[in-house]
A and B are shown apart, each in its own frame.
Chain A
Amino acid sequence: MVPLSYYLVLSGFLFACGVAGFLIKRNIITIFMSIELMLNGVNLSFVAFAAHWHALAGQIFVFFVMVVAAAESAVGLAIIIAVYRTRETLNVDQVNLLKL
């Protein structure tokens, strides 16, 4: 038996790591991976609460989060490829104009 709060602390730590990576990292691909880490942290708390409240809908929400994350990563990586094609850099500090 594991208390619910342990799951929440782990989930919060993963989310905080994602936020820190989003702030620290300069590589646009790593920033994108930090977003995925945040989504994973949230998913864990969804599943833990679903088990805690005996509500299966929480697991369905996680399923939808995964599907949307897949769509998001496909579009996001395509945008990264388009940015790299015009800027020839992956450093976000050098991608500071809205103009592509």
Chain B
Amino acid sequence: MAGVSLKNVVKRFGSIEVVHGASLEVEEGEFIVFVGPSGCGKSTLLRMIAGLEDISGGEIAIGGVAVNDVEPADRGIAMVFQSYALYPHMTVERNLSFGLRMNGNDKADTARRVAKAAQILRIEELLDRRPAQLSGGQRQRVAIGRAIVRDPQVFLFDEPLSNLDAELRVQMRVEIARLHAELGVTMIYVTHDQVEAMTLADRIVVLRAGRIEQIGKPLDLYDDPANQFVASFVGSPKMNFMAAEVASIEDGRVTVALVNQGSARLTVPAENGFAVGDRLTVGLRPEHFGREGEGDCDLSIRVDMAEHLGSTSYIHANTTSAEQLVIEREESRSEIGMEHLTVSIPAAKAYLFDASGARLR
């Protein structure tokens, strides 16, 4: 088991810099998830830790040892690929044992390790099959098994569940969480799915355009996002954003007009210096909308569509305007079929962001 340390890690492809000085300390045994949209550099960062990509600048250390110039196989890591990367011409047993056999590992030890991995992943009955004869979920288990037999200090997962269907993804997510609990090994996991990130991670690293936007525990990111990007990326359905203009400022409180919501006025506590007339964004999570009169500001909305999931409903409002809202309501059966609804915004739950997306507190 080992921690991983990234210091100002830079990646350039030719003249294009895709990772701009990422720094991160991963504790021993921690489950870290890199999350971000396509092209944010999360997979590149993972591949640099694995040694499959050169490091253009900065330093990566595994277990306290700088590995910039260490061969991938000598870094004590194992990686699970998005496409599984199984050897198509080998049986599951051969896939699991290939690396050990190629390195002259003792036969009995190889057999023992393969049997143990197969038992952990419950794939014992699949050992004689080839990858083509396995389902997506079974292939993913074999790919994880191949990582387990190496007995690595650090597991790296590169979007391992993105080729699976929704149901299997949930199931495998649980399996991976169980595996982490069972093995207690450091795991670094890349995904673009924030639900995977929220459910699996000890800490999440949110990346955008090659920069780390925020590092934190899942609920800390959810409750206290550093900026509008993190606020929008973490949480499903997404946080609502409403354009606002500063109407008045008085000691530690600012009153904004929600310009696209009938100029409803909302007063929120804020300390930063801004001026009357400044353009801001107010963020509010779908579940934080209150009923009429319950909050600090009422909004009259046009209901366009409602998704009734049983215990909760998602009301999609103002979808034809520039600023659509999603409102989560519990026990909203009495509202089924309503075309207009008045909801309220509790000021304490609202987030303020400036024009650049930075959080105002």
Partners in one complex: no
Which residues does A use to contact B, with CB under 8 Å?
none
Binding site for A on B (CB under 8 A): none
